[in-house]
Amino acid sequence: MIKAGILAIALGLCALLAFHWVGSSVDEHGILHEPFALLPIGSTLLVAGLLAVVIAWLRRQAITATDRDSPFNRP
């Protein structure tokens, strides 16, 4: 789950960077042209990736704490 979260974070950052690199322009008729779809896609991937990494890290910490307190692990 951590790898999927890191991948989502990387893709989200790429989408946000692509939005800035592509830029926006106004044509001769006054119509704004910009890749607006990259903003919500990038933001959603970034937040989902961060949540996935945090949840996976918390689950790993809980499992480690449970294993440490297990009576079967004591010498």
pLDDT in tens, 44-59: 999 999 999 999 999 9
In a domain, 28, yes or no: no
Residues counted in the chain: 75
Residue 73 lies in a domain: no
Show the domain range for 8. 2-23+33-67
C-alpha atoms less than 13 angstroms from C-alpha of 42 in its C-beta half-sphere: 13
Is 14 a member of any domain? yes
Number of domains in the chain: 1
Q: Rounded to whole angstroms, how far apart are CA atoms 71 and 34?
A: 60
68: pLDDT confidence band, cut at 50, 70 and 90? low
Average pLDDT of the chain to the nearest whole number: 89
72 assigned to some structural domain:
no
Pick from 44, 56, 40, 39: nearest CA to 4? 56
Residue 57: inside a domain: yes
Q: Please check whether residue 75 lies inside any domain of the structure.
A: no
